[in-house]
Amino acid sequence: MPNHEPVDYDCPFCDFPPDREPEVVYRDELVFATICPRWWPRNAGHLLIIPVAHHENLYDLPAADGHAVFDVTQKLARVMRATYDCAGVSTRQQNEPAGGQTVWHFHQHLFPRYPGDDLYASAPQPDSLPTERRRAYAERLRAALKS
């Protein structure tokens, strides 16, 4: 299948920085989920669900990793809906440049949704969600997972 990852690609998910570990909400041997630094004004605190093993896109993703991503997405969607008191959730996953993929490691977005939030008609903020806010969202979700 088509791959677009440059030969010298430094994968941000394979080399996940230790200083961002407090933003991780969930981790097991196949998948981890973290608060996304990129944010939309009315949907802050959205998650990235990422297989631990490096697979560029949906075409390359082994079934076991795909099932794990979906299972964790479902678990976190339930926790997100209750914790953020949102009216629903949306997932988004891109493949190849024409599909909007810009990070060459498969991942799925999980967004909290609110009536009239215009997620798909709005642009993300130009700056990253501040570290303190990412960590606060992560702490809330981790606490809800434990209860």
pLDDT at 26: 98
pLDDT at 2: 76
Residue 43 has pLDDT above 80, yes or no: yes
In the numeric block, which tokens belong to residue 38? 């990129």
Give the mean pLDDT of 112-123: 95
Give 20's DSSP letter: G
Q: How far apart are CA 35 and CA 107, in angstroms?
A: 12
Mean pLDDT of the chain: 96
pTM of this structure: 0.95
pLDDT at 95: 97
- Please say whether the beta carbons of 30 and 68 come within 8 A: yes
**What fold is seen in the domain 18-146?**
HIT family, subunit A (3.30.428)
Element (H, E) at 90: strand 88-92
Domain boundaries defined on the chain:
18-146
pLDDT in tens, 93-110: 999 999 999 999 999 999
Residue 1 has pLDDT above 80, yes or no: no
